[in-house]
Structure 1
Amino acid sequence: MRDQAENLRLRMLKEHGELGKSIAVVSGKGGVGKSNFSMNFSSVLAAKGKKTILIDMDIGMGNIHILLGKTIHSNLQDYLEGRCGVSDLIHEGPNGLHFISGGSGLNHLMDWSERSFAKLMEAFEYFQKEYDIILFDMGAGATRESLDLLTAVDEIIVISTTEPTSITDAYSMMKFIFMKDPDKDFYLICNRASSKAEGDETVSRISFAMEKFLGKKVFSLGSLPEDPAVSKSVKAQQPFSILYPQSDITFALKEIVRKFTNSQEETQPKGSKFLQKMKTIFFKGRG
């Protein structure tokens, strides 16, 4: 009965408009600037009129609210334990961006009770109805739980730097996800490039490896340069795209956003299967 009710709600949502797209931002290792990218990327998307919510999934190390200079009083764990409602989770960011702080609530996906999981699905369903884009800022590396979520989301943005270890880890992350879901769409970005040529070469190397060894094409979004505007904006607890609108990195980011939104418009819509996949993963894990 519950499954029938959930499917009915989803059909009703689709009839009243397309469900929001779920996108995860990942990296193979820490220290590549992933959270800063997620925050600025989602902020620019919001400024372009995309109703966007950023969900901090770096459990135990979440820092989106710190990067934004915000004090938060509720997180996903509070919601799952009944201490607040869905609306209490949502905090205001720049350019109309909304964001949610992480907590320990997603640490053990397969250990949740059905009640806790149902509450999470209720929240995610609400987000898909209310937002155009749900952006998950994932923790560095991979755990069983994070890989399950990555398998469920509609698309994945992978961040690498020019360092050989970062390139190898980014490829390994994509390969692992690809083996679970060959149809997953990947977007690739190089961060902290010393030059555009170096950034483009890094993206090209990873893309070539994906196509040669896995037969999988990925979308190249380009690169972001090493820029002092980043560290200055972190200290000021504001997005560099707002604090330094004329910086090289802001121009590069806006070009990445342009490529991303264009690719969304050019790609044949598949419809989001995020919630259905999450349910399948959860109940399979309990079987």
Structure 2
Amino acid sequence: MKRRSTVVAIVSGKGGVGKSVTAVNLAETLAVMGERVALLDADFGQGACGILLNETPLASVLDLALGRVELDDVLHPTRSGFTLVQAVAEPGQADGHHEALYRTLDWLLKELRHTHTFVLIDAPAGTEGPVRWALDRAQLGLLVIVGEPTAIADAYRLCKLLWQRAPHYPLGCVVNFADTEAEARSVADRFAELTHHFLHHQPMYLGWVPFSVQVRQSVHRQQPAVQSPGPVRNAFQRLAEALVRGVVEQPASCLTS
């Protein structure tokens, strides 16, 4: 029996916490495991996925929305074997076209779910429209956090928005840039205590990614860090296995209503 496709929205409260790097490496890992993966860069400003992969799609979702191209022009096959889709190619292009862009993204997402087992949506940081759209359409939100006070505060604001509108929304968290597993668990536990105390909910802890020079070097090389063996690859392998085993199916959250 054909397995249902799973949509995961990868989000963060603020920029600079490694969200897009997480999205790219998770897509690579799932593809290596044999999953049919699409990575949708839903940033309407300046998407990072293509840059991190050193891949340049022929066209964007906006081009499709404006009738300039066909669907196949938007689906970019990467060297790693997964499909890369970018909402816009350049900053500012989405201005005045948001309604058409969201309408086309909805249609495109349905098409991607027919042909892929995982659709990862790399949403921009914060709580603006594309973030709400991504969470609305996903079965799971994957929140990337780091143990830094302003990042925790911004992540809390995102959780507050989400759970006030959709109290039962499944949200997992990944701790990035941790030196040890104990440190990562401590960050996750403190964040869970914060959200449980004030919001009466807490995210599922799905794993951690170590702070590593390997990641920084991979960004400079514009290729996923998981292509090289080591702790980073192992961390993403565990995260990918957790997603394959236990993703929760959930209706849309109605954040965009």
Q: TM-score, normalised by structure 2?
A: 0.89
Counterpart in the other structure of 1:251: 234
Counterpart in the other structure of 2:63: 78
1:203 counterpart = 2:200: no
Q: Do the aligned partners of residues 182 and 161 (structure 1) sit closer, same or farther apart at CA in structure 2, a change above 3 Å counting? A: same
Counterpart in the other structure of 1:164: 149
Distance in 2, matches of 1:139 and 1:131, equals 22
Counterpart in the other structure of 1:49: 34
Counterpart in the other structure of 1:101: 86
Counterpart in the other structure of 2:203: 218
Q: Aligned letter for 1:112? A: E
Q: Aligned letter for 1:261? A: V
Q: Do the aligned partners of residues 120 and 147 (structure 1) sit closer, same or farther apart at CA in structure 2, a change above 3 Å counting? A: closer
Counterpart in the other structure of 2:243: 260
Structure 1 alignment gaps of length 5 or more: 1-15
Higher mean alpha-carbon deviation, 211-220 vs 52-61, is at 211-220
Counterpart in the other structure of 1:229: 214
Asked which structure has the greater CA Rg, the reply is 1
Q: CA deviation at 1:118?
A: 4.7
Counterpart in the other structure of 1:36: 21
Distance in 1, matches of 2:202 and 2:232, equals 26
* Matched positions, count: 254
SS in 2 for 1:147: helix
Distance in 2, matches of 1:148 and 1:56, equals 12
- Larger RCO (CA under 8 A, 6+ residues apart): 2
- Counterpart of 1:132 (choices 102, 105, 117) is 117
Distance in 2, matches of 1:149 and 1:70, equals 22
Query: Which protein is richer in helix relative to its size?
Result: 1
Q: TM-score, normalised by structure 1?
A: 0.80
SS in 2 for 1:78: helix
Contact 2:123 2:134 in 1 (8 A): no
SS in 1 for 2:87: coil
Distance in 1, matches of 2:241 and 2:133, equals 29
Contact 2:17 2:145 in 1 (8 A): yes
Counterpart in the other structure of 1:147: 132
1:90 counterpart = 2:90: no
Q: Do the aligned partners of residues 107 and 202 (structure 1) sit closer, same or farther apart at CA in structure 2, a change above 3 Å counting? A: farther
SS in 2 for 1:100: strand
Q: Aligned letter for 1:161? A: V
SS in 2 for 1:28: coil
Contact 1:57 1:139 in 2 (8 A): yes
1:233-268: CA deviations, max 9, x gaps? 1111111101x22x222212212222232223xx5x
Q: CA deviation at 1:145?
A: 4.5
Structure 2 alignment gaps of length 5 or more: none
Distance in 2, matches of 1:215 and 1:183, equals 11
Q: Aligned letter for 2:82? A: L
Q: Aligned letter for 1:227? A: S
Q: Aligned letter for 1:171? A: Y
Distance in 2, matches of 1:94 and 1:217, equals 37
Distance in 2, matches of 1:96 and 1:68, equals 12
